[in-house]
Amino acid sequence: MSPGRLVGNAVTVIIGERVLSGCEDAFMAWQQKVNSAASNYPGFIAAEINPATSVQQDWSLTYRFDSIPNLQAWLNSATRHDLLTEGRSYCDGPPTQQIVTGTAPPPDTLVTAVVTHRVAPEDIDHFLAWQQRLRLAESKFPGYRGSEIFRPIEGVQDEWTTLYRYDSAADLDRWLTSSERRQLLDEGKRFGEFGLRTIDSSFGNWFAFGEVGGQAAVPSNAKTVIAVWVGLYPTVMLLSLAMAPEHLRMWQGMLIGNLLSSFIMTYVTMPFYVNRLLYRWLYPASDTPMTATNIRTALVIVAVTVFWAVLFWLVTTVLWTLP
């Protein structure tokens, strides 16, 4: 299935699978079943299957959704979990996965390299400077068509992802085996191990490369604190009400409650409530009018907070008295 409509805040997940020899046909049939299931989820735009080639050893599977929350809803769904359990017998080892954002340029046929790094917060400035040196060096090689770096996406992916593409596998290999790249990799040893995958053909045309790209900017600390607070209050209150009849001692209640609230915040409250409610504020597009967005978001936060406060006041003082 080729990419369809394009959305400014669209997000794509790139999945690599090593398929067992002799299972290719069964894997293809199963993957088409997975793609069909994904197409029924909100925000689905397109999916694509690229079998292994002489350039890429893994099968490349790409899904494109119109937003991070909608992609999360699919990735975390029970439907997908059941399908993955069914398809594991066709695969050799666990899959790889990267998530990137951005709009798509006109289609072409290129070879794309996907590189992932885990970067400590204190090393981000040095990492970006090093990436710029890499970019300048690779741009001097024949066949270079552009590159883009994507920041981690909070709650979804911890790695920095860099995509760069060339006209052909030979052009890409010339850069990958060059002395210039080896020297720059030595300079970047402080950032630890990295992962690299090569993807052949049409995957590369799903993304913008160059000065205008699709970085998923990390929300500020202030936004993160407010977003967590919006989700934490109803989560903790609902858990407290649910656990109240058990008459647990304080140390027991806190121990169990903190564990449950951590799981609920991570897998339910943040992806399905807070991120959807505050998405345009947490991840604004480059042309978003921030003043108006901040005002609207403040009103939304006040409204939902008042709603929860009144609801829990009614439950705990009018309708029911805590035991």
pLDDT digits (tens, 9 = 90+) for 286-299: 566 878 889 999 99
Average pLDDT value for the chain: 79
> How do beta strands 110-117 and 144-150 pair?
unpaired
pLDDT of residue 102: 57
- Residue 238's pLDDT band, with cuts at 50, 70 and 90, is very high
| Range 45-52 average pLDDT | 82
257, amino acid identity = G
pLDDT of residue 288: 67
| Domain limits, the chain | 11-206, 221-319
Phi and psi torsions of 244, nearest 5°: -55, -45
Tokens of 218: 């990390």
Run of H or E including 129: helix 124-138
- Residue 3's pLDDT band, with cuts at 50, 70 and 90, is very low
Run of H or E including 223: helix 221-243
pTM: predicted TM-score of the whole model, two decimal places: 0.45
| Range 20-26 average pLDDT | 90
What gap in Å lies between CA 197 and CA 186, rounded to an integer? Answer: 19
CA angle in degrees (0–180, nearest 5) for 166-19-159: 55
Q: How many CB atoms lie within 10 A of CB 1?
A: 17
| Range 10-34 average pLDDT | 88
Q: Is the pLDDT of residue 103 over 50?
A: no
Residue ranges with strand state E in the chain: 11-17, 44-50, 59-65, 96-101, 110-117, 144-150, 160-166, 194-201
pLDDT tens digit sequence for 24-38: 899 999 988 998 888
Quick one: which of 273, 253, 213, 207 has its CA closest to 48?
Answer: 207
Q: Are the CB atoms for 10 and 101 separated by under 8 Å? A: yes
pLDDT of residue 322: 58
Q: Are the CB atoms for 55 and 198 separated by under 8 Å? A: yes
Residue 268 to residues 29, 74, 157, 175, 291, Cα–Cα distance (Å) = 31, 13, 16, 43, 29
Does residue 175 sit in helix, strand or coil? helix
Q: Is the pLDDT of residue 203 over 80?
A: no
pLDDT of residue 286: 54
**Which position has the higher pLDDT, 194 or 48?**
48
What gap in Å lies between CA 194 and CA 184, rounded to an integer? Answer: 13
Q: Are the CB atoms for 68 and 38 separated by under 8 Å? A: no
CATH architecture of the region 11-206: 2-Layer Sandwich (3.30)
